[in-house]
Protein backbone atom coordinates (compact mmCIF):
# COMPACT_ATOMS: atom_id res chain seq x y z
CA UNK A 1 0.00 0.00 0.00
CA UNK A 2 2.50 2.72 0.97
CA UNK A 3 4.61 2.17 -2.14
CA UNK A 4 1.69 2.92 -4.40
CA UNK A 5 0.74 6.05 -2.61
CA UNK A 6 4.25 7.33 -2.72
CA UNK A 7 4.66 6.68 -6.41
CA UNK A 8 1.45 8.56 -7.12
CA UNK A 9 2.54 11.50 -5.14
CA UNK A 10 5.58 11.87 -7.35
CA UNK A 11 3.45 12.04 -10.44
CA UNK A 12 1.28 14.78 -9.14
CA UNK A 13 2.07 18.38 -9.75
CA UNK A 14 1.85 19.93 -6.32
CA UNK A 15 1.12 23.52 -7.32
CA UNK A 16 -1.89 22.64 -9.41
CA UNK A 17 -4.08 21.31 -6.65
CA UNK A 18 -5.57 24.55 -5.48
CA UNK A 19 -6.30 25.75 -8.96
CA UNK A 20 -7.93 22.42 -9.67
CA UNK A 21 -10.35 22.70 -6.82
CA UNK A 22 -11.56 26.02 -8.12
CA UNK A 23 -11.64 24.80 -11.64
CA UNK A 24 -13.60 21.76 -10.66
CA UNK A 25 -16.43 23.75 -9.16
CA UNK A 26 -16.52 25.79 -12.28
CA UNK A 27 -16.50 22.82 -14.59
CA UNK A 28 -19.29 21.18 -12.63
CA UNK A 29 -21.46 24.16 -13.35
CA UNK A 30 -20.48 24.05 -16.96
CA UNK A 31 -21.28 20.39 -17.03
CA UNK A 32 -24.79 20.98 -15.78
CA UNK A 33 -25.43 23.63 -18.35
CA UNK A 34 -24.08 21.43 -21.06
CA UNK A 35 -26.24 18.53 -20.15
CA UNK A 36 -29.24 20.76 -20.48
CA UNK A 37 -28.20 21.82 -23.93
CA UNK A 38 -27.54 18.23 -24.86
CA UNK A 39 -25.87 17.63 -28.13
CA UNK A 40 -23.49 20.50 -27.85
CA UNK A 41 -21.54 18.91 -25.05
CA UNK A 42 -17.84 19.15 -25.51
CA UNK A 43 -15.81 16.07 -24.82
CA UNK A 44 -12.75 17.92 -23.59
CA UNK A 45 -14.57 19.25 -20.57
CA UNK A 46 -15.58 15.79 -19.51
CA UNK A 47 -12.17 14.30 -19.99
CA UNK A 48 -10.59 16.99 -17.90
CA UNK A 49 -13.30 16.51 -15.34
CA UNK A 50 -12.60 12.83 -14.95
CA UNK A 51 -8.93 13.49 -14.53
CA UNK A 52 -9.62 16.11 -11.94
CA UNK A 53 -11.99 13.89 -10.10
CA UNK A 54 -9.56 11.03 -10.11
CA UNK A 55 -6.91 13.30 -8.70
CA UNK A 56 -9.30 14.54 -6.06
CA UNK A 57 -10.05 11.01 -5.05
CA UNK A 58 -6.40 10.19 -4.84
CA UNK A 59 -5.81 13.21 -2.72
CA UNK A 60 -8.53 12.22 -0.35
CA UNK A 61 -7.23 8.73 -0.01
CA UNK A 62 -3.76 10.04 0.67
CA UNK A 63 -4.90 12.14 3.54
CA UNK A 64 -7.13 9.28 4.63
CA UNK A 65 -10.20 11.44 5.12
CA UNK A 66 -12.50 9.68 2.75
CA UNK A 67 -9.99 7.18 1.47
CA UNK A 68 -11.42 5.10 -1.32
CA UNK A 69 -8.34 2.96 -1.56
CA UNK A 70 -7.32 2.99 2.06
CA UNK A 71 -10.69 1.65 3.00
CA UNK A 72 -10.75 -1.03 0.36
CA UNK A 73 -11.91 -4.14 2.12
CA UNK A 74 -11.66 -6.89 -0.47
CA UNK A 75 -14.73 -9.03 -0.76
CA UNK A 76 -13.49 -11.66 -3.17
CA UNK A 77 -10.77 -14.25 -2.65
CA UNK A 78 -8.89 -12.69 -5.53
CA UNK A 79 -9.20 -9.25 -3.99
CA UNK A 80 -7.85 -10.51 -0.67
CA UNK A 81 -4.86 -12.11 -2.38
CA UNK A 82 -4.09 -8.88 -4.24
CA UNK A 83 -4.53 -6.73 -1.17
CA UNK A 84 -2.29 -8.95 0.95
CA UNK A 85 0.41 -8.94 -1.72
CA UNK A 86 0.11 -12.63 -2.50
CA UNK A 87 -0.63 -11.70 -6.12
CA UNK A 88 1.49 -8.89 -7.54
CA UNK A 89 1.24 -9.58 -11.27
CA UNK A 90 -2.01 -9.01 -13.13
CA UNK A 91 -1.00 -11.58 -15.76
CA UNK A 92 -1.36 -14.21 -13.09
CA UNK A 93 -5.05 -13.29 -12.83
CA UNK A 94 -5.62 -12.85 -16.57
CA UNK A 95 -4.18 -16.30 -17.26
CA UNK A 96 -6.42 -17.90 -14.67
CA UNK A 97 -10.13 -18.53 -15.19
CA UNK A 98 -10.90 -16.15 -12.31
CA UNK A 99 -12.87 -13.06 -13.19
CA UNK A 100 -11.96 -9.73 -11.71
CA UNK A 101 -14.93 -8.55 -9.69
CA UNK A 102 -13.38 -5.58 -7.91
CA UNK A 103 -11.91 -2.63 -9.83
CA UNK A 104 -9.48 -1.97 -6.97
CA UNK A 105 -7.59 -5.09 -8.02
CA UNK A 106 -6.78 -3.41 -11.32
CA UNK A 107 -6.01 -0.10 -9.60
CA UNK A 108 -3.49 -1.80 -7.38
CA UNK A 109 -1.78 -3.98 -10.00
CA UNK A 110 -1.83 -1.41 -12.83
CA UNK A 111 -1.44 1.91 -11.01
CA UNK A 112 -0.80 4.04 -14.10
CA UNK A 113 -4.08 3.53 -15.91
CA UNK A 114 -5.35 6.29 -18.15
CA UNK A 115 -9.05 6.84 -18.64
CA UNK A 116 -10.50 8.01 -21.94
CA UNK A 117 -14.16 8.52 -22.70
CA UNK A 118 -15.27 7.73 -26.23
CA UNK A 119 -17.56 9.84 -28.38
CA UNK A 120 -20.50 7.58 -28.97
CA UNK A 121 -23.23 10.19 -28.78
CA UNK A 122 -25.33 11.30 -31.65
CA UNK A 123 -24.01 14.08 -33.78
CA UNK A 124 -26.62 16.78 -33.48
CA UNK A 125 -26.65 20.18 -34.99
CA UNK A 126 -27.60 22.16 -38.02
CA UNK A 127 -26.86 21.09 -41.57
CA UNK A 128 -26.82 17.41 -40.79
CA UNK A 129 -24.38 17.08 -37.96
CA UNK A 130 -22.38 18.76 -35.29
CA UNK A 131 -19.85 17.49 -32.87
CA UNK A 132 -20.15 14.06 -31.40
CA UNK A 133 -20.11 13.80 -27.64
CA UNK A 134 -19.47 11.14 -25.05
CA UNK A 135 -23.08 10.77 -23.98
CA UNK A 136 -25.58 8.79 -25.88
CA UNK A 137 -28.98 9.85 -24.65
CA UNK A 138 -31.94 7.61 -24.71
CA UNK A 139 -35.47 8.70 -23.99
CA UNK A 140 -38.20 6.54 -22.69
CA UNK A 141 -41.71 7.90 -22.81
CA UNK A 142 -43.65 7.39 -19.61
CA UNK A 143 -46.80 8.86 -18.10
CA UNK A 144 -44.73 11.36 -16.20
CA UNK A 145 -42.93 12.48 -19.32
CA UNK A 146 -39.72 11.54 -21.00
CA UNK A 147 -37.21 9.70 -18.92
CA UNK A 148 -33.70 10.41 -20.11
CA UNK A 149 -30.79 8.07 -19.61
CA UNK A 150 -27.16 8.66 -20.37
CA UNK A 151 -24.93 5.99 -21.78
CA UNK A 152 -21.19 6.24 -22.18
CA UNK A 153 -18.15 4.20 -23.10
CA UNK A 154 -14.93 4.38 -21.12
CA UNK A 155 -11.55 2.97 -22.09
CA UNK A 156 -8.76 2.35 -19.63
CA UNK A 157 -5.22 1.45 -20.58
CA UNK A 158 -1.69 1.80 -19.33
CA UNK A 159 -0.09 2.54 -22.72
CA UNK A 160 1.86 -0.64 -22.22
CA UNK A 161 -0.25 -3.48 -23.55
CA UNK A 162 -3.25 -3.47 -21.21
CA UNK A 163 -6.65 -2.16 -22.23
CA UNK A 164 -10.26 -2.49 -21.15
CA UNK A 165 -13.53 -1.00 -22.34
CA UNK A 166 -16.68 -0.49 -20.33
CA UNK A 167 -20.18 0.61 -21.19
CA UNK A 168 -22.72 1.94 -18.73
CA UNK A 169 -26.07 3.65 -18.60
CA UNK A 170 -27.57 5.71 -15.81
CA UNK A 171 -30.08 8.44 -15.13
CA UNK A 172 -27.31 10.92 -14.52
CA UNK A 173 -24.01 11.48 -16.25
CA UNK A 174 -21.65 11.12 -13.29
CA UNK A 175 -22.81 7.65 -12.18
CA UNK A 176 -22.87 6.54 -15.81
CA UNK A 177 -19.27 7.60 -16.21
CA UNK A 178 -18.16 6.00 -12.93
CA UNK A 179 -19.87 2.75 -13.83
CA UNK A 180 -18.34 2.77 -17.31
CA UNK A 181 -14.85 3.27 -15.87
CA UNK A 182 -15.46 0.52 -13.35
CA UNK A 183 -16.64 -1.86 -16.07
CA UNK A 184 -13.64 -0.99 -18.21
CA UNK A 185 -11.31 -1.97 -15.37
CA UNK A 186 -13.11 -5.25 -14.85
CA UNK A 187 -12.77 -6.00 -18.57
CA UNK A 188 -9.06 -5.38 -18.77
CA UNK A 189 -7.10 -7.60 -21.14
CA UNK A 190 -3.48 -7.91 -22.18
CA UNK A 191 -2.81 -7.42 -25.88
CA UNK A 192 0.38 -8.76 -27.43
CA UNK A 193 2.02 -5.97 -29.37
CA UNK A 194 4.73 -6.32 -31.93
CA UNK A 195 6.12 -5.29 -35.26
CA UNK A 196 4.21 -7.46 -37.69
CA UNK A 197 4.77 -5.30 -40.74
CA UNK A 198 6.77 -6.74 -43.63
CA UNK A 199 8.10 -3.29 -44.44
CA UNK A 200 9.45 -2.61 -40.98
CA UNK A 201 11.03 -5.41 -39.02
CA UNK A 202 12.39 -3.21 -36.27
CA UNK A 203 11.17 -5.70 -33.71
CA UNK A 204 9.75 -3.09 -31.37
CA UNK A 205 6.26 -3.18 -29.89
CA UNK A 206 4.82 -0.29 -31.86
CA UNK A 207 2.13 -2.18 -33.75
CA UNK A 208 0.27 -5.48 -33.61
CA UNK A 209 2.02 -8.79 -34.38
CA UNK A 210 -0.38 -9.88 -37.12
CA UNK A 211 -3.68 -9.04 -38.79
CA UNK A 212 -6.78 -9.35 -36.66
CA UNK A 213 -10.47 -8.69 -37.03
CA UNK A 214 -13.52 -8.35 -34.83
CA UNK A 215 -17.26 -7.97 -35.18
CA UNK A 216 -20.15 -6.37 -33.41
CA UNK A 217 -23.58 -6.43 -34.96
CA UNK A 218 -23.15 -5.39 -38.61
CA UNK A 219 -19.79 -3.71 -38.06
CA UNK A 220 -16.50 -5.42 -38.82
CA UNK A 221 -13.14 -3.93 -37.94
CA UNK A 222 -9.89 -5.23 -39.36
CA UNK A 223 -6.54 -4.14 -37.98
CA UNK A 224 -3.27 -4.59 -39.84
CA UNK A 225 0.33 -4.14 -38.66
CA UNK A 226 1.93 -1.01 -40.07
CA UNK A 227 5.55 0.12 -40.34
CA UNK A 228 6.92 2.55 -37.82
CA UNK A 229 5.91 6.15 -38.37
CA UNK A 230 2.64 5.31 -40.11
CA UNK A 231 0.42 6.47 -37.30
CA UNK A 232 -2.96 5.03 -36.48
CA UNK A 233 -4.96 5.25 -39.67
CA UNK A 234 -8.47 4.54 -38.53
CA UNK A 235 -11.68 5.90 -37.00
CA UNK A 236 -11.12 8.44 -34.25
CA UNK A 237 -12.65 6.26 -31.52
CA UNK A 238 -10.63 3.21 -32.55
CA UNK A 239 -7.58 5.44 -32.50
CA UNK A 240 -8.25 6.36 -28.89
CA UNK A 241 -8.40 2.71 -27.88
CA UNK A 242 -5.16 1.83 -29.67
CA UNK A 243 -3.49 4.91 -28.30
CA UNK A 244 -4.26 4.11 -24.69
CA UNK A 245 -3.09 0.56 -25.34
CA UNK A 246 0.30 1.87 -26.42
CA UNK A 247 0.24 1.18 -30.15
CA UNK A 248 1.35 3.89 -32.56
CA UNK A 249 1.12 2.32 -36.03
CA UNK A 250 -1.85 0.46 -37.46
CA UNK A 251 -3.82 0.30 -40.69
CA UNK A 252 -7.48 -0.56 -40.47
CA UNK A 253 -10.57 -1.22 -42.49
CA UNK A 254 -14.12 -0.95 -41.24
CA UNK A 255 -17.20 -2.42 -42.84
CA UNK A 256 -20.90 -2.04 -42.17
CA UNK A 257 -22.91 0.65 -40.44
CA UNK A 258 -19.98 2.57 -38.93
CA UNK A 259 -22.16 5.51 -37.97
CA UNK A 260 -23.08 3.47 -34.92
CA UNK A 261 -19.97 4.15 -32.93
CA UNK A 262 -20.89 1.72 -30.16
CA UNK A 263 -20.54 -1.15 -32.61
CA UNK A 264 -17.29 0.24 -34.02
CA UNK A 265 -15.82 0.38 -30.52
CA UNK A 266 -17.04 -3.10 -29.64
CA UNK A 267 -15.75 -4.55 -32.90
CA UNK A 268 -12.35 -2.98 -32.31
CA UNK A 269 -12.16 -4.43 -28.83
CA UNK A 270 -13.23 -7.80 -30.22
CA UNK A 271 -10.41 -7.60 -32.77
CA UNK A 272 -7.90 -6.84 -30.02
CA UNK A 273 -9.35 -9.57 -27.83
CA UNK A 274 -8.77 -12.01 -30.70
CA UNK A 275 -5.06 -11.18 -30.51
CA UNK A 276 -4.98 -11.93 -26.83
CA UNK A 277 -3.91 -15.31 -25.69
CA UNK A 278 -6.20 -15.14 -22.68
CA UNK A 279 -9.47 -14.20 -24.27
CA UNK A 280 -12.37 -12.65 -22.48
CA UNK A 281 -15.89 -13.58 -23.29
ZN1 LIG B 1 8.62 -2.10 -36.59
Let me know whether 42 and 93 are in one domain: yes
Q: Which residues contact 187 (CB under 8 A, 6 or more apart)?
A: 164, 165, 166, 280
**Overall domain count for the chain:** 2
Distance from Cα 207 to the centre of ligand 1, integer Å: 7
- Is 195 in contact with 228 (CB distance < 8 Å)? yes
**227 Cα: distance to centroid of ligand 1 (angstroms):** 5
> Could you tell me the distance, in angstroms and rounded to a whole number, from the CA of residue 43 to the centre of ligand 1?
33
Same domain for 173 and 238: no
33 pLDDT above the threshold of 80: no
- Cα 199 to ligand 1 centre (Å): 8
Q: What is the pLDDT of residue 60?
A: 40
Choose among 281, 249, 253: nearest CA to 268: 253
281 is a domain residue: no
Q: Which of 39-43, 53-57, 231-235, 277-281 has the lowest mean pLDDT?
A: 39-43
**Is residue 280 included in any domain, yes or no?**
no
User: Looking at 45-54, 194-203, 230-239, which range is the least confident one?
Assistant: 45-54
Specify whether 232 is located in the same domain as 168. no
Cβ contact 130:39 at 8 Å: yes
* 73 within domain boundaries: yes
Residue 128 in any domain: the answer is: yes
pLDDT band at 249 (very low <50, low <70, confident <90, very high): very high
pLDDT in tens, 184-220: 999 999 999 999 988 888 989 999 999 999 999 999 9
The more confident residue out of 134 and 21 is: 134
Tell me: do 54 and 186 sit in the same domain. yes
Lowest model confidence (mean pLDDT) among 15-24, 28-37, 168-177, 237-246: 28-37
Same domain? For 33 and 172 the reply is: yes
- Tell me the percentage of the chain whose pLDDT exceeds 90: 51
Is 119 found in the same domain as 64? Answer: yes
- Phi, psi of 214, deg, nearest 5: -145, 160
Q: Are residues 153 and 224 in the same domain?
A: no
Average pLDDT score, the chain: 79
Task: Tell me the CA–centroid distance for residue 223 and ligand 1, in Å.
Answer: 15
Within-domain flag for 195: no
> Are residues 155 and 116 located together in one domain of the fold?
yes
3-state secondary structure of 219: strand
Task: Give the CATH number, domain containing residue 184.
Answer: 3.30.160.20
**Are both 185 and 226 inside the same structural domain?**
no
The range of the structural domain enclosing residue 31 comes to 2-190
Rounded to the nearest angstrom, the distance between the alpha carbon of 247 and the centre of ligand 1 is 11
Residues at Cβ < 5 Å from ligand 1 ion: 195, 200, 202, 228
Does residue 13 carry a pLDDT above 80?
Answer: no
Rounded distance, CA 123 to CA 236, Å? 14
The residues pairing with 139 across neighbouring beta strands, listed in sequence order, are 148
Amino acid sequence: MPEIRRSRKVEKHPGEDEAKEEAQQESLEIEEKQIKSAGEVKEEVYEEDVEKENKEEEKESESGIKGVELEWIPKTVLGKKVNSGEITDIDQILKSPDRIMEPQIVDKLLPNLEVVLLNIGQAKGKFGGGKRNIWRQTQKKTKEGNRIKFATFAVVGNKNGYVGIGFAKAKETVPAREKAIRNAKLNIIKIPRGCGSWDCGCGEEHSIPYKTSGKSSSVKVELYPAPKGTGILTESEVKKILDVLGITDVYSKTYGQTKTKINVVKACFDALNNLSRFKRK
